């Protein structure tokens, strides 16, 4: 896939990824949600939600137990064709919980984007967990 399509679109898409990462780091749910199309979908090993209402409820559900998130992303590929794009990115997250614990995640996003009203939005963020690290007292399951 690598990088293909108009450079202006690829730059705008990179800015979307940077906005998403910044909002995630700061815990800004409104800015984070604005990165998604109205019917956007977020799929992971923990959930599969679609639409702004479900996305916001999932964000709020995660953040009810968190105090801080360190989110670092890397864009691995962007292929733009007209008003749609497919992208691959990687994320490293460290989360501090209200209970005082910390856990770490690393994973890959396979994304579909759509240009709406001149702005790029996530139509699908499909997350695959690669590595997780939980202290024994926080091990899920």
SS3 (DSSP) at 12: helix
Q: Is the model's pLDDT at 138 over the cut of 70? A: no
Average pLDDT over residues 111-118: 97
Average pLDDT over residues 66-76: 96
Average pLDDT over residues 7-28: 98
pTM of the model: 0.93
Q: Is the model's pLDDT at 26 over the cut of 60? A: yes
pLDDT for residue 140 = 61
Three-point CA angle 19, 22, 26, nearest 5°? 140
Domains: count for the chain: 1
β-partners of residue 93 are 71, 105
Residue 119 CA to residue 131 CA, distance in Å, equals 32
Which CATH number do you get for residue 21?
Answer: 3.10.450.50
Q: Is the model's pLDDT at 118 over the cut of 60? A: yes
Q: Which of 115, 125, 90 is closest to 9 using CA atoms?
A: 115
- pLDDT per position as a tens digit, 86-97: 999 999 999 999
Q: Is the model's pLDDT at 119 over the cut of 70? A: yes
pLDDT for residue 135 = 75
- Domain of 98 in residue numbering reads as 3-138
């Amino acid at each position: 896939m690598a990088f293909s399509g108009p450079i202006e679109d690829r730059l705008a898409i990179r800015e979307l990824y940077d906005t998403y990462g910044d909002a995630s780091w700061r815990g800004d749910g409104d800015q984070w949600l604005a990165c998604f199309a109205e019917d956007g979908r977020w799929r992971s090993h923990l959930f599969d939600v679609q639409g702004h209402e479900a996305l916001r409820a999932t964000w709020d559900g995660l953040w009810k137990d968190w105090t801080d998130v360190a989110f670092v992303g890397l864009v691995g590929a962007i292929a733009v064709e007209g008003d749609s794009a497919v992208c691959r990115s990687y994320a490293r997250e460290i989360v501090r919980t209200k209970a005082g614990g910390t856990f770490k995640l690393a994973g890959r996003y396979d994304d579909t984007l759509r240009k709406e009203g001149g702005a790029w939005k996530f139509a699908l963020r499909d997350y695959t967990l690669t590595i997780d690290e939980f202290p024994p007292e926080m091990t899920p399951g």
